[in-house]
Amino acid sequence: MPEAHSNPEHVDVLIVGSGPAGSTYARVVADARPDVSILIVEAGPRLRGTLGEHTSNMSPDDRRISQRLAQGPDAGVDRPPPHPALSETDGQARTAPFIFPGLFPIGDGAAMPGEFGLPAAAMSTGVGGMGVHWSASTPRPSGSERNPFIPSAELDSLYDQAEGLLGVSKDLRGDDEMLATLRDLVAAEFDSDAPGASPVGYMPLAIGRRGNELQVSGTSVILGDLADRVPRFSVRPETLARYILTEGDTAVGALLEDRMTDSAYEVRAERVVVCADSLRTPQLLFASGVRPTALGHYLNDHLQMTALVKLDPANVRKWPTPESPSIVGSVLIPFVDGIRPMQGQLIPLSRTGAGFHLLPESMAGAGAEEIAILAWYGAKDIQVGDAVEFDESRADPYGMPAMIIHYTLTDADRRVIELMRANMARCAEVVGSLIAEPTLAPGGSSLHYQGTIRMGPNDDGTCVCDTYGRVWSRTHLYVGGNGVIPTSTAANPTLTTVALAARAAARLAADLSA
Ligand SMILES: Cc1cc2nc3c(=O)[nH]c(=O)nc-3n(C[C@H](O)[C@H](O)[C@H](O)COP(=O)(O)OP(=O)(O)OC[C@H]3O[C@@H](n4cnc5c(N)ncnc54)[C@H](O)[C@@H]3O)c2cc1C
The whole-angstrom separation of Cα 281 and Cα 360 is 36
Ligand 1 binding pocket includes 280 (Cβ within 6 Å): yes
- Domain of 250 in residue numbering reads as 9-82+123-169+216-292+450-513
Residue 21, pLDDT > 90, answer yes
Residue whose CA is at the smallest distance from ligand 1 atom 33: 17
Ligand 1 binding pocket includes 416 (Cβ within 6 Å): no
More confident residue, 323 or 23: 23
* Ligand 1 center to 414 CA (angstroms): 28
Ligand 1 binding pocket includes 52 (Cβ within 6 Å): no
Q: Which atom of ligand 1 is nearest to the CA of 41?
A: 43
Ligand 1 binding pocket includes 332 (Cβ within 6 Å): no
Sign of the CA dihedral with 5 first, then 25, 490, and 309 last: negative
Domain for residue 485, yes or no?
yes
Is residue 501 a contact partner of residue 1, using CB atoms and an 8 Å limit? no
For residue 259, the Cα-to-chain-centroid distance in whole angstroms is 25
Residue to probe by mutation, ligand 1, list 54, 134, 448, most atoms within 8 Å of CB: 134
Is residue 253 a contact partner of residue 460, using CB atoms and an 8 Å limit? no
The pLDDT tens digits for 175-185 are 889 999 999 99
The pLDDT tens digits for 465-477 are 999 999 999 999 9
CA distances from 315 to 105, 348, 369, 376, 426 (A): 39, 11, 11, 21, 16
Ligand 1 binding pocket includes 129 (Cβ within 6 Å): yes
pLDDT-based confidence at 55, cuts 50/70/90?
Answer: very high
Domain for residue 135, yes or no?
yes
Residue 363, pLDDT > 60, answer no
* Ligand 1 center to 444 CA (angstroms): 13
Domain count, the chain: 1
Residue 400, pLDDT > 90, answer yes
Domain for residue 274, yes or no?
yes
pLDDT of residue 328: 87
pLDDT of residue 279: 98
pLDDT-based confidence at 85, cuts 50/70/90?
Answer: very low
Residue whose CA is at the smallest distance from ligand 1 atom 47: 125
pLDDT of residue 214: 85
Residue 83, pLDDT > 70, answer no
The whole-angstrom separation of Cα 291 and Cα 462 is 12
Phi-psi group of 268: left, alpha or beta (phi > 0 → left; psi -120 to 50 → alpha; rest → beta) = beta
Domain of 464, CATH number, reads 3.50.50.60
pLDDT-based confidence at 190, cuts 50/70/90?
Answer: very high
Residue 444, amino acid: G
For the chain, percent of residues with pLDDT exceeding 90 = 84
With vertex at residue 214, the alpha carbon angle to CA 495 and CA 367, rounded to the nearest 5 degrees, is 105
Determine which of 52-56, 244-248, 349-353 has the lowest per-residue pLDDT on average.
349-353
Domain for residue 221, yes or no?
yes
Query: Taking Cα atoms as reference points, which of 168, 141, 92, 164 lies closest to residue 335?
Result: 141
Residue whose CA is at the smallest distance from ligand 1 atom 13: 134
More confident residue, 352 or 456: 456
More confident residue, 3 or 130: 130
Domain for residue 393, yes or no?
no
The whole-angstrom separation of Cα 504 and Cα 488 is 21
pLDDT of residue 369: 80
Helix (DSSP H) and strand (DSSP E) numbers for the chain: 9, 19
Residue 5, pLDDT > 90, answer no
For residue 416, count CB atoms less than 10 angstroms from its CB and return exposed for 0-12, middle for 13-18, buried for 19 or more. buried
Q: Which of 54, 133, 448, 476 is catalytic?
A: 448
Ligand 1 binding pocket includes 309 (Cβ within 6 Å): no
Domain for residue 179, yes or no?
no
Residue 96, pLDDT > 70, answer no
Is residue 413 a contact partner of residue 303, using CB atoms and an 8 Å limit? yes
Beta strands per DSSP E along 336-470: 342-348, 371-378, 387-395, 401-406, 432-440
Is residue 466 a contact partner of residue 325, using CB atoms and an 8 Å limit? no
* Ligand 1 center to 60 CA (angstroms): 22
Query: Taking Cα atoms as reference points, which of 477, 36, 437 lies closest to residue 230?
Result: 36
Name the strand (E) or helix (H) holding 331. Answer: strand 331-333
pLDDT of residue 322: 61
Mean pLDDT over the full length of the chain:
92
More confident residue, 291 or 172: 291
pLDDT of residue 35: 95
Q: Which atom of ligand 1 is nearest to the CA of 280?
A: 38
Torsion of CA 483, 487, 488, 489, to 10 degrees: -80
pTM recorded for the entire structure = 0.95
Question: Region 437-454: what's the mean pLDDT?
Answer: 96
More confident residue, 88 or 411: 411
Domain for residue 430, yes or no?
no
Residue to probe by mutation, ligand 1, list 67, 494, 497, 498, most atoms within 8 Å of CB: 494
406 catalytically annotated: no
Ligand 1 binding pocket includes 491 (Cβ within 6 Å): no
Domain for residue 192, yes or no?
no
Ligand 1 binding pocket includes 46 (Cβ within 6 Å): no
Ligand 1 binding pocket includes 203 (Cβ within 6 Å): no
pLDDT-based confidence at 321, cuts 50/70/90?
Answer: low
pLDDT-based confidence at 174, cuts 50/70/90?
Answer: confident
Residues comprising the chain, all counted: 514
